[in-house]
Amino acid sequence: MSPKERILDTVSLLFHKQGYNATGINQIIEEAKVAKASFYQHFKSKEDLCVAFLNQRHDFWFNELEKFTLDEKDSKLKILTSFDFLIAMNQKEDFRGCSFLNLLSEIPSDNIKVLKVIQSHKLDLRKYFKNILKDEILADHVYLLFESCIVESQLFKSNDLIEQSKKIIQTLIL
């Protein structure tokens, strides 16, 4: 792996384990086994590293979601399978939750650079549901259920609310 890839992989683990604020650049450099100069060659600041991490996470997450739901052509089944994706991600990542919301809770409210990346990710998720359902109000209902499932499953380390939301969606989508 290149130094940049090692840094991003290391940050992914450390931000998950310790959080953004508790993770220092020196620790990242040490655990990624890169020189300080190499770190700053790729990232001017911790904020720039955070943006790169979130952009990488966005691409990974949406690629995984698309692969997971690819075989479903029926819109109702595609939506339900999207919720199954949350269950799979919870199992894979031990109820990590949403990297974007986790970071949102740690950044200062005036950090527009990181905030814009987080907002963009959430807007893309809303668009994902709107593209499937072709109904903005219904898509927003599903989006809000999806988001609450991420938070609640992380909080309680349980997929129960995801299963419950799938039942709710079956009543919403006729």
Domain of residue 144, CATH code: 1.10.357.10
Q: What's the average model confidence in pLDDT over 126-142?
A: 97
**Boundaries of domain holding 65:** 45-172
Residues 39 and 49 in one domain: no
Residues 22 and 50 in one domain: no
Domain of residue 34, CATH code: 1.10.10.60
Question: Is a pLDDT exceeding 90 seen at residue 120?
Answer: yes
Count Cβ atoms below 10 Å from residue 161 Cβ, excluding itself: 20
Residues 38 and 55 in one domain: no
Please tell me the distance from the alpha carbon of residue 74 to that of residue 69, in angstroms, as a whole number.
Answer: 10
Tell me the pTM. Answer: 0.94
Residues 114 and 163 in one domain: yes
- pLDDT band, very low/low/confident/very high, at 174 (cuts 50, 70, 90): confident
What pLDDT score was predicted for residue 32? 98
For 49-90, what is each residue's pLDDT tens digit? Answer: 999 999 999 999 999 999 999 999 999 999 999 999 999 999
Q: DSSP per residue over 50-100, as a string?
A: HHHHHHHHHHHHHHHHHHHHTT--SHHHHHHHHHHHHHHHHHHHTS---HH
Residues 54 and 37 in one domain: no
Residues 88 and 152 in one domain: yes
User: What's the one-letter identity of residue 61?
Assistant: W
What pLDDT score was predicted for residue 73? 94
Residues 66 and 17 in one domain: no
- pLDDT band, very low/low/confident/very high, at 160 (cuts 50, 70, 90): very high
Tokens read off for 150:
């991420």
For 19-49, what is each residue's pLDDT tens digit? Answer: 999 999 999 999 999 999 999 999 999 999 9
Residues 37 and 111 in one domain: no
Tally of domains within the chain: 2
Residues 11 and 59 in one domain: no
Residues 89 and 143 in one domain: yes
Q: pLDDT over 70 for what percent of the chain?
A: 100
Residues 53 and 39 in one domain: no
Residues 55 and 116 in one domain: yes
